[in-house]
Structure 1
Amino acid sequence: MSPDHPPGLDLDRLRALLERERPGLVHGPLTGRLIEGGRSNLTYAVSDGTSRWVVRRPPLGHVLATAHDMRREHRVISALHPTSVPVPRPVLLCEDEQVLGAPFYVMEFVEGTPYRTADELVPLGERRTRDAILSLVDTLVELHAVDPAGVGLADFGRPEGFLDRQLRRWGKQLDASRSRDLAGVDELHAALGRELPQSPAPAVVHGDYRLDNVLIGPDDSIRAVLDWEMSTLGDPLTDLGLLVMYSVPLRLPDSPISTTAAAPGHPSPAELIERYAARSGRDVSAVSWYTAFAWFKLAVILEGIHYRYTLGQTVGRGFDRIGELVPVFIEHGLTTLQEG
Structure 2
Amino acid sequence: MVDAVRLLARSYGVNADQVREVPGGVANRAFVLGERLFARVARPGFEEDLRKETAVVPVAREAGVRTPAILEYDPSDTLLGAPYVVVDRVHGIEPEVTPGELVIDLARLHAVRRGALAEVPVDGWGEPRIAVGELADRGYLDAETARWLDGWFTRLEQRFDRSASAVLVHGDVAPHNLLVGSDNSLQAVIDWGDAAWGPRALDFAKLRLTEVVQLLPEYLSVARELSDSTLAEDELAAGVLYLHLSWGLGKLQADPWPGQRHWTAPPASRLLNLLAFFTTNPPHPWHTLT
CA distance in 2: counterparts of 1:11 and 1:212, whole angstroms? 23
Is the contact between residue 296 and residue 333 of structure 1 (CA under 8 Å) also seen in structure 2? no
- Alignment partner for residue 19 of structure 2, among 11, 14, 31? 31
- Alignment partner for residue 183 of structure 1, among 116, 136, 140? 140
5+ residue gaps, structure 1, are 1-9, 119-131, 176-180, 249-260, 262-268, 310-316
Read off the aligned partner of 1:46 and give its amino acid letter: V
Over 6 Å off, 4+ runs: 188-193, 301-304, 320-324, 334-338
Is the contact between residue 85 and residue 143 of structure 1 (CA under 8 Å) also seen in structure 2? yes
CA distance in 1: counterparts of 2:13 and 2:150, whole angstroms? 52
Aligned partner of 2:269 in structure 1 is 328
2:61 matches 1:76: no
2:222 matches 1:279: yes
Q: Post-superposition shift, 1:216?
A: 1.7
SS at match of 1:105: strand
Q: Post-superposition shift, 1:204?
A: 1.0
Q: 1:95 to 1:87 in 2, by over 3 A?
A: same
CA distance in 1: counterparts of 2:92 and 2:222, whole angstroms? 25
Is the contact between residue 242 and residue 291 of structure 1 (CA under 8 Å) also seen in structure 2? no
Q: Post-superposition shift, 1:94?
A: 3.6
CA distance in 1: counterparts of 2:110 and 2:176, whole angstroms? 19
Aligned partner of 1:253 in structure 2 is none
CA distance in 1: counterparts of 2:58 and 2:152, whole angstroms? 34
Read off the aligned partner of 1:25 and give its amino acid letter: Y
Is the contact between residue 23 and residue 30 of structure 2 (CA under 8 Å) also seen in structure 1? yes
CA distance in 1: counterparts of 2:249 and 2:171, whole angstroms? 14
Is the contact between residue 34 and residue 42 of structure 1 (CA under 8 Å) also seen in structure 2? no
Aligned partner of 2:124 in structure 1 is 163
CA distance in 1: counterparts of 2:99 and 2:196, whole angstroms? 23
- Alignment partner for residue 167 of structure 2, among 183, 196, 203? 203
Superposed CA offset, 1:244-279 (max 9, x none) = xx243xxxxxxxxxxxx5xxxxxxx43322222222
Aligned partner of 1:257 in structure 2 is none
Q: 1:89 to 1:320 in 2, by over 3 A?
A: closer
- Alignment partner for residue 90 of structure 2, among 97, 110, 116? 110
CA distance in 2: counterparts of 1:201 and 1:320, whole angstroms? 33
Q: RMSD of the TM alignment (CA)? A: 4.4
2:39 matches 1:54: yes
CA distance in 2: counterparts of 1:320 and 1:51, whole angstroms? 26
Superposed CA offset, 1:302-333 (max 9, x none) = 977x57x6xxxxxxx81599998212324556
Q: Post-superposition shift, 1:155?
A: 3.8
Q: Post-superposition shift, 1:231?
A: 0.8
CA distance in 2: counterparts of 1:56 and 1:17, whole angstroms? 12
Q: 1:182 to 1:75 in 2, by over 3 A?
A: farther
CA distance in 2: counterparts of 1:87 and 1:182, whole angstroms? 45
Output aligned runs, 1:89-128, within 5 Å. Answer: 89-97=69-77, 100=80, 102-115=82-95, 117=96
5+ residue gaps, structure 2, are 225-230, 279-285
Is the contact between residue 96 and residue 103 of structure 1 (CA under 8 Å) also seen in structure 2? yes
Is the contact between residue 144 and residue 236 of structure 1 (CA under 8 Å) also seen in structure 2? yes
Aligned partner of 1:214 in structure 2 is 178
TM normalised by structure 2 equals: 0.68
